[in-house]
Amino acid sequence: MTALKNESPSGSPSLSQTELRPIVRSQLQLLLEANNLPEAKALLAPAQPADIAEAIEDLPNPLQAIAFRLLPKDEAIEVYEYLDLEVQQSLIEEFRGQDVLDIVEQMSPDDRARLFDELPAKVVTRLLSQLSPKERGATALLLGYEPGTAGRIMTPEYISLEEGWDATQALAHIRSLARASEMIYYLYVTDSSRRLTGILSLRDLVVAQPEQTIGDIMVREVVSVQTDTAQEDVARLIQRYDFLALPVVDAERRLVGIVTVDDVLDVLEAEATKEIYQLGGVQSGDASYFQTNLLTVAQRRVVWLLVLLITNTGTSAVIRSQQDVLEQVVALTAFIPLLIGTGGNVGAQSSTVIIRGLNTDELRSTKPWAVIGREAIAGAFLGIMLGAVVLLWAYLLQGNLVVAIAVGTSLVSISVLASVAGSSLPFLFQRLGFDPALMSAPFITTFVDVLGVMIYLNVARLILKL
C-alpha cells in the first residue's frame, strides 16, 4: 500500500472532502488522546477506507486499536485489508477471540493468505481452526500455492454460471451472490466437473434478451492462466488484453479462482521496484527496504559489492602491469578516473535501455545484432563529441599535446566499447537463461573500468612510442 502525497506542479488532485489531510490526521490523534470518541468517529465517517487505513497507520501504536474499534463493522473489514501487514499483525495481537475471528472471517481469501504468511504459525493454526469450513477451505487452498504465483494472488470469490441457464436466471443468481463476490463484472461458465468452458461480462448479460441462454451469449475462447503461472506473467496478460480479471485453472482445466486487476496494479509496482533495485545493484527482498533491519540491508548489498570489488581488482592488476608507462609520464594518471567514469556512464545508459526493453518485451521481435550495432554507432557518435571536449580540457590542464591526444582517442574507443558491452551483455545473459538485469549499470561500469584502463594505457604507450 502506498500513499499519494505528491504535490504535482500541474495541479494536485481534487479530493474534495474525502481525503484525510495531514492536519485532519493530527486532529484525529488529539481527539483520541482526549478520549473524545464521538468526534473522532465523525471525523472518520466520510473518508475512504484506504485513507482511514493510512491515518491509523500514522497513529502511535496504542491508539491504533482504539481508532480501529470506532469503525462500523462492515467498514472495519475493508479498512483492515488496506493496513500494512505490520499493523494488521499488531491489531490481531491486540484483539481477542471473537473480535479477531469476525475480521479474519470476512477478509477476502487472498488478503487473508497474505496476512497468514506473516503471522506466527501457532496463531495461524488457531485462527484457521476457528474459521467456518468454507473460509478455511478457501484459505488453505491459497496457502498451498507458492508465493509469487497466480494461485497465491487469486481469489476464489468469483461467480460461475451454467450454460443452460437463461439471462433472467443468471441475473437472479448474480444478485444473490453480489455481496460476497470480489468481482461480479466477469462471469465464468463451467461444466458439471467445474471445467471452464466460457466467459461473459455482466455487460453482455445486461444487454441480452431475457430468454437467451448463457451458452448463446458466452465467449468460448477464454484466456486463462494456471495456478503456478508467475504473478508478473499474469500482470502482463491483464495489461495486454485490458481485462478486469483473469481466470486461474488447475492442471485439469478446472476453474479454481480469478486474479483481479487491482492486485495486478500492486504486482506491477512491486516488479518495477525489483527491477529498479537490480539496476542499482541492490538485491530486493519481500519486505520493504525501509522496514528491514540494517544487518539484512547490509547483507543484501554486500554480495553485489564484493563481486564488483573482485572484478575491479582487475584494474589494479592492469595498472600494476603497465606501471612503467605511468612512471615515465605521471601526467597520464590524472585522466584515469575521468576516462573510466565517462565510459561507465555511456555503458550504463546502453544497458539501462536494453534491459528495460527486454523486460517490457519491446525488444522481443528485434534482432540483437541490429540493436547492438545501433548502440555501437551511438557510442561512436558520443565518443567523438566527448573525446573532442576532453582533448581540449586535457591540453588546457597539462599543456601536453601528446597526453591530450592519448586521452581523446582513448575516450572514443572506450565509449564504443562501453556501448557494445552495455548492449550485448544483457542479451548474452538472457540467452544463457539468467536475468538480463544482472548486467546492470554497476556491473557494466566495473567491467568498463577494467577494459578502459587497459585501452588507455596501451594507447598512451603507442602514442608516446614507449
**What SS3 state is found at 448?**
helix
* Alpha-carbon gap, residue 42 to 153, rounded angstroms: 35
* Alpha-carbon gap, residue 389 to 404, rounded angstroms: 10
Q: Give the nearer residue to its own copies in terms of CB position, either 91 or 331.
A: 331
Q: Give the nearer residue to its own copies in terms of CB position, either 61 or 333.
A: 333
CB of 105 to its own copies, least distance (A): 21
Please measure the distance between the N-terminal and C-terminal CA atoms of the chain and give it in whole angstroms.
63
Q: Give the nearer residue to its own copies in terms of CB position, either 119 or 237.
A: 237
Q: Give the nearer residue to its own copies in terms of CB position, either 93 or 269.
A: 269
CB of 100 to its own copies, least distance (A): 24
**Nearest residue to 109 (alpha-carbon basis) of 74, 134, 79:** 134
Q: In 195-282, which ranges are E strands?
A: 196-201, 225-226, 245-249, 255-260
Judge contact between 255 and 160, C-beta under 8 A. yes
**Nearest residue to 104 (alpha-carbon basis) of 71, 123, 259:** 123
Q: Give the nearer residue to its own copies in terms of CB position, either 121 or 330.
A: 330
CB atoms within 10 A of CB 131: 17
CB of 348 to its own copies, least distance (A): 5
Judge contact between 186 and 292, C-beta under 8 A. no
Q: Give the nearer residue to its own copies in terms of CB position, either 96 or 320.
A: 320
Contacts of 252 (CB under 8 A, 6+ apart): 195
**What SS3 state is found at 196?**
strand
C-alpha cell at 18: 474525502
Total residue count of the chain as it appears in this document? 466
CB of 125 to its own copies, least distance (A): 28
Judge contact between 123 and 100, C-beta under 8 A. no
Q: Give the nearer residue to its own copies in terms of CB position, either 113 or 376.
A: 376
CB of 163 to its own copies, least distance (A): 18
Q: Which is it for strands 186-190 and 160-161: parallel, antiparallel or unpaired? A: parallel
The Cα-based distances of 41 to 29, 38, 50 in angstroms read: 12, 5, 16
Q: Give the nearer residue to its own copies in terms of CB position, either 156 or 422.
A: 422
